[in-house]
Chains A and B, each alone.
Chain A
Amino acid sequence: MTFVLDAVLCALILGVAAATIAGHGVFRAIVFFIVYGLLVAVGWVRLGAVDVALAEAAIGAGLTGVLFLAAYGRLGREGAGGDAPAPAHLPAAMAGLGVTCALGWAWSALPLPDRPGPQLAEALPMSGVENPVTAVLLNFRAWDTLLESVVLLAALTGLWMLTRDAAWGGRIGLPQHVRPDGVMAGFGRVLPPLGLLVGVYLVYIGADRPGGAFQGGTVLAAVGLVAALAGAVRPPRIGATRWRAALVAGPLVFLLAGLAGAALGAGFLTLPPQIAGAALFAIEVALAASIAVTLAFLVLGPPEETITR
């Protein structure tokens, strides 16, 4: 019975993936991409990788989908929404085919790792957390995660560089028009408290069970976006100092913890067991805040309204 479920799931994933890249229409492709992300998340749950499933559902399907939809809406407003002719897709198709071939080669040629690896079970008590995924992400392979958080910051910097001079200093994103007693305004008041609870819980529980800064941060970003779209909160101005501080808090705390490791003689970004628990908690909280603010700002986009000086 479970074999039938898995076989149907695999067929659905492959079918939806094919529907995403084949056929015409950008909007159609985006919708299929979101469905694909959700199905892949179910696949990760079937494999027992709940952390990855949470990240895939929140970031892969949810946030990336919203970014695509926002970009699609912008293309429409700029009058550039038409589909490119087929030859224009050829380089992307070739690149995609190349990546697929390389992954296929890696899958067949590389040795299968022991799972979960005896060294990990030995090292886990020294990591400062109970959840092995969090231990790997924030401690054993801290470099990767630190650079990921910096990449997010760089993406937002790149986006903000696209701001027109006349709009610089304005509130980020498009001005929202919401009827004060409408459906969206009500939704924007009901959902955020619950989402806030779920987001904070995911960040907090990440030390022991599936969850963590990326998953929780994405939920918190979504809470902010719903509140902003419903007009319950106004997005901040692009230059606001405290929001810039929130953007860099995660990488900064991460770097400070890394330096503390170096100062204690363990080496840069190597956390000795006596401070690992506290350091990881601080990193997780700061990282979640930065991820939430960065992702929400990425979706809202640069300020669009010309401000009068």
Chain B
Amino acid sequence: MADVATVVLTGIGLFFFLAGTAGLMRFPDTFSRLHALTKADNLGLGFIALGVAFQAATWREVALLALIWALALLAAGTVSQLVARAALGEEETR
């Protein structure tokens, strides 16, 4: 049962990563590429962490996975804001 949950959830997570990567490569400008990358990848990482959590032996491991996801969210959100701001500055000076 836990294995089924892991396979299904990490499968969904991988699909989101695939979608995010497709968006990164196909979308026309910096802002929509950032949108695809951060939104899809954050969701994908969340699903993968959730899937892996079903294999965890202790609650401590589940908490660590949740912490990793939260930190990745924080970093990705901040970095995408900074990249977007830099791109905005470049566009204005053009």
Q: Which residues of A contact B (CB under 8 A)?
A: 183-184, 186-187, 190-191, 194
A190:B74 contact, CB within 8 angstroms: yes
Docked pose: A190 CA to B74 CA in angstroms = 9
Docked pose: A44 CA to B94 CA in angstroms = 45
A187 / chain B contacts, CB cutoff of 8 Å: 74, 78
Docked pose: A184 CA to B78 CA in angstroms = 7
Task: Kindly provide the distance from the CB of B43 to the nearest chain A CB, expressed in whole angstroms.
Answer: 20
Q: Which residue, of A183, A191, A194, has the highest number of chain B Cβ atoms within 10 A?
A: A183
A191:B74 contact, CB within 8 angstroms: yes
Task: Kindly provide the distance from the CB of A45 to the nearest chain B CB, expressed in whole angstroms.
Answer: 15
- CB of B81 within 8 A of chain A? yes
A183:B74 contact, CB within 8 angstroms: no
Task: Kindly provide the distance from the CB of B63 to the nearest chain A CB, expressed in whole angstroms.
Answer: 14
A186 / chain B contacts, CB cutoff of 8 Å: 78
Dominant SS among interface residues on chain B: helix
6 further contact pairs, Cβ within 8 A, besides A183-B85, A190-B74, A194-B71: A183-B77, A183-B78, A183-B82, A184-B78, A187-B78, A191-B74
A190 / chain B contacts, CB cutoff of 8 Å: 74
A191 / chain B contacts, CB cutoff of 8 Å: 74
B74:A184 contact, CB within 8 angstroms: no
Task: Kindly provide the distance from the CB of A5 to the nearest chain B CB, expressed in whole angstroms.
Answer: 14
Docked pose: A207 CA to B51 CA in angstroms = 33
Docked pose: A287 CA to B78 CA in angstroms = 32
A-B contact pairs, 13 of them (CB 8 A): A183-B77, A183-B78, A183-B81, A183-B82, A183-B85, A184-B78, A184-B82, A186-B78, A187-B74, A187-B78, A190-B74, A191-B74, A194-B71
A184 / chain B contacts, CB cutoff of 8 Å: 78, 82
Docked pose: A186 CA to B85 CA in angstroms = 15
Nearest B-chain residue to A184, judged by Cβ: B82
B50-90 interface code vs A (CB 8 A; 1 in, 0 out): 00000000000000000000010010011001100100000
Docked pose: A191 CA to B73 CA in angstroms = 12
Docked pose: A190 CA to B82 CA in angstroms = 16
Task: Kindly provide the distance from the CB of B50 to the nearest chain A CB, expressed in whole angstroms.
Answer: 21
B74 / chain A contacts, CB cutoff of 8 Å: 187, 190-191
Task: Kindly provide the distance from the CB of B48 to the nearest chain A CB, expressed in whole angstroms.
Answer: 15
B71 / chain A contacts, CB cutoff of 8 Å: 194
Task: Kindly provide the distance from the CB of A222 to the nearest chain B CB, expressed in whole angstroms.
Answer: 12
B78 / chain A contacts, CB cutoff of 8 Å: 183-184, 186-187
A194 / chain B contacts, CB cutoff of 8 Å: 71
Nearest B-chain residue to A191, judged by Cβ: B74
Nearest B-chain residue to A230, judged by Cβ: B78
A183 / chain B contacts, CB cutoff of 8 Å: 77-78, 81-82, 85
Task: Kindly provide the distance from the CB of A38 to the nearest chain B CB, expressed in whole angstroms.
Answer: 13
Docked pose: A190 CA to B85 CA in angstroms = 20
Docked pose: A153 CA to B81 CA in angstroms = 35
Docked pose: A40 CA to B71 CA in angstroms = 22
Docked pose: A194 CA to B71 CA in angstroms = 10
Docked pose: A190 CA to B78 CA in angstroms = 11
